[in-house]
Structures are given as C-alpha cells and as structure tokens.
Structure 1
Amino acid sequence: MNHLNQLQLARRWAMSPRTLERWRWMGQGPRFLKVGKRVVYRLEDVEAYEAERLHESTTSVRRSA
C-alpha cells in the first residue's frame, strides 16, 4: 500500500479522523495529496513524519511555552 486515506491513518495512529482534518487546516501533520475531494497521505510522508518525532526519552521532547 503506497497511500493511506484519512481513516486508515487515523487508525494507524489511534486518533480521530477529525484531528487530521484540523491538522490539515492548520498546516500541521504529514504532507498530503488532495485529488478532487479525496485526501490521501503517501506512506513515505507518513513514515518521514513519524521519524521526525522519534525520541529517546520524554526529556528529549521539546515543549512549547
């Protein structure tokens, strides 16, 4: 599978599909493709987004004030 739709990605990350919608609206989250009304996420973009958020411990997480 080279692409995930919104529901598949939401299931992968155990989150609400609405969160992904909000992220897209806010310019956050992984890159996506929109063809007509259909939104899909390339697997390589999802995996890159996951890799960018990989941490060794909770103290390595940067917190925004």
Structure 2
Amino acid sequence: TDDLSKVLDNAALVDGSLKATVDGADATAPTLSGTTLSWTGALEAGKSVVLTYQVKINDGVAGGVLINN
C-alpha cells in the first residue's frame, strides 16, 4: 500500500493511469481507495513490481509541490 494523501490533496488521479508490471510484464493494476494505493498479486522471490500512476496538479497549487514519502 502507499498513502497518497499528500499527493491527492493538491492533485487528481488521471483516469486509467494505474498500472503494474512484474519484471516488465503487465500485471493486475493497483487500486485506489480514498487516498490509499494498493496492489495485490503474485510476486515470486527475486522478482520486482513497478506501480505507476499519473496525477494532474490542481489549478492554483503554489509551486506545484506534491509529496509522496
């Protein structure tokens, strides 16, 4: 899971942008519930998963700063 609350307080998720790959192969996309990004899937030892998403910064956000720690 990834808490995106400090990202989504100043931006909106781009529809259709949630994606996942396991060692470069397409995998089940993550889901967003509220501000929590979650992924569940098969991940064998030694493999890695990359989760991607896009956001559009809301108008009027000073400096366009988003935080994802």
- TM-score when scaled to structure 2? 0.23
Structure 1 length-normalised TM: 0.24
**Larger strand proportion, structure 1 or 2?**
2
